[in-house]
Amino acid sequence: MVEIIISVFLVFMVIGALIALETTDLLSSVISIGAVGFALSICFLLVGAPDIAITQMVVEVLSLVILIRATIRHDLTTIDGDRDFFGLMATLALIFALLLLGLPAFLSLPPFGTPAMSQMMESPARHYLSGGLRETGAANIVASVILDYRAYDTLGEATVLFTSILGALAILRVYSRKKKS
């Protein structure tokens, strides 16, 4: 049942992504990406990941604000056409070849509904699930993984986020440019 609902949402996301990439108005393409992101959030909710669903919702709203800031004040928002014809055809052929070559790889994965931890007795996920409450005291196992078992990952994430925001501010600041001229 969950598989069918997720398939419907994935078809919706594929259509939304195609509209976002093919429409000429930039504002409507940004809003289509927003629709894709919210469908993704519902998919996360369906596969038992409420933390990711909430985070995806917040991040989606923030990224919509950022993207609309990038597009709305510029009058030249419609650029028609793709790259030149031969290059476009070559790229599409390569993407199609990638699709044909990549699809057999998905057959070697375990089928949908059987995670890798159900086949390995000593997987860390089992350890987290059975001992997470006793060892960390957190009722939410995802929170115990990101804040206790793998806290160094979260430290690195905070570092990357800080660095990227610092880079964006350094690119967008205006006062040092005035001094030069």
Partner 1 sequence: MIYAMCFILFLIGLYGATCKKNIVKIILGLVVMEYAVNLFLVLQGWRKNGQAPILDGRTNLEEFAARAVDPVPQALVLTSIVIGLGILSLMVAIAIRLYERYGTFDVTEMKRLKG
* Shortest Cβ 181–partner 1 spacing (Å): 13
Quick check: helix, strand or coil at residue 69? helix
Q: Which of 28, 51, 72, 93 binds partner 1 (CB under 8 A)?
A: 51
Per-residue contact track with partner 1, 78 to 107, x per CB under 8 A? -x-xxx----x--xx--x--xx--xx--x-
* Shortest Cβ 170–partner 1 spacing (Å): 9
How far apart are alpha carbons 79 and 112 in whole angstroms? 41
Q: Does 124 bind partner 1 (CB under 8 A)?
A: yes
For residue 117, the 8-state DSSP code is: G
Own/partner pairs for 51-54, CB < 8 Å, 24+ apart?
51/140, 51/142, 51/143
* Shortest Cβ 178–partner 1 spacing (Å): 14
Q: Which of 125, 136, 175, 180 binds partner 1 (CB under 8 A)?
A: 125
Q: Does 117 bind partner 1 (CB under 8 A)?
A: yes
Helix 2-22 × helix 26-46 angle, to 10°: 170
